[in-house]
């Protein structure tokens, strides 16, 4: 949608639905935006939003980015959790084989240039999958990083005019855990093995006692996020992140 229209709608969603809980906010916001998808990594916290969406509509589109470098546990969890929740419209998007052959023929781009690897394996596939959508839902939260401290529940994606909904923006880790327990939702199996934040296999390591939960992502680099939240353009490619 036009940028000014998206900005006005985003502000209206924030002001008119400020008092609603996360799921009620989604129920109110989605029809006003139009065609919306949930983008999910099927990671450590993903079951919360997936459960909320399944309660709204089991045919709601859920985009899953298979980077072709994920943990096998993530791929299995994606299938099992979708079945458990009865989600019937999982859209799997992946990097194009020709692009992989040209840009990452040896599968080691992640070592040479992590930004380009995330662009190839995550951002580009997601941009293709989101063509025709007026908005999408993410699982980002303010507590996750300093770059998210001011995150709103609705915002406009730079450059595209799509509206991003962040219904869990103000949720704490305790709230996430309580929701998972309340609804008996299956956890990602790697969480119990020391992976509180889960991305691609080569760039995710176990987190030690007392470390930040995201310390295992791109360890040893200044990179903190993956890139999909600056699809429409950004002053910088750093500070990029996975959806949920």
**CB contact at 8 A, 170 and 142:** yes
Which residue among the candidates 117, 118, 203, 226 is catalytic per the annotation? Answer: 226
- How far CA 100 is from CA of 95, 122, 155, in Å, comes to 7, 12, 32
3-state SS class at 242: coil
Give the SS3 label for residue 156.
strand
Residue 226 known to be catalytic? yes
Residue 129: exposure state from Cβ atoms within 10 A (0-12, 13-18, ≥19): buried
What are phi and psi for residue 154, nearest 5 degrees? Answer: -140, 140
- The gap from C-alpha 4 to its chain's centroid, in whole angstroms, comes to 25
- Please enumerate in sequence order all residues whose Cβ is within 8 A of that of 216, keeping only pairs 6 or more positions apart, or say none: 194, 195, 196, 197, 204, 205, 206, 207
- The secondary structure of residue 153, as a DSSP letter, is S
In this structure, what token pair is assigned to residue 229?
A: 């939240």
**Which residues are tagged catalytic?**
226
């Amino acid at each position: 949608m036009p940028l000014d229209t998206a900005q006005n709608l985003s502000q209206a969603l924030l002001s008119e639905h400020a008092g609603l809980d996360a799921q009620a906010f989604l129920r109110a916001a989605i029809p006003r935006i139009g065609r919306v998808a949930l983008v999910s990594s099927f990671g450590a916290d993903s079951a919360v939003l997936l459960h909320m969406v399944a309660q709204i509509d089991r045919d709601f589109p859920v985009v899953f980015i298979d980077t072709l470098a994920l943990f096998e546990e993530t791929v299995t969890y994606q299938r099992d959790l979708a079945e458990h929740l009865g989600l019937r419209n999982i859209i799997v998007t992946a990097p194009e084989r020709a692009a992989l052959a040209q840009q990452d023929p040896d599968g080691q781009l992640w070592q040479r240039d992590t930004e380009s690897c995330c662009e190839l394996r995550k951002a580009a596939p997601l941009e293709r999958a989101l063509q025709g959508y007026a908005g999408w839902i993410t699982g980002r939260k303010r507590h996750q990083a300093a770059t998210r401290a001011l995150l709103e529940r609705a915002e406009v994606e730079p450059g595209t005019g799509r509206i991003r909904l962040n219904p869990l923006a103000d949720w704490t880790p305790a709230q996430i855990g309580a929701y998972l327990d309340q609804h008996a939702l299956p956890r990602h199996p790697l969480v119990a093995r020391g992976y509180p934040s889960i991305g691609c296999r080569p760039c995710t390591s176990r987190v030690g006692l007392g470390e930040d939960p995201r310390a295992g992502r791109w360890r040893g680099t200044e990179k903190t996020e993956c890139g999909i939240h600056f699809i429409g353009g950004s002053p910088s490619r750093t500070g990029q992140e996975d959806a949920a």
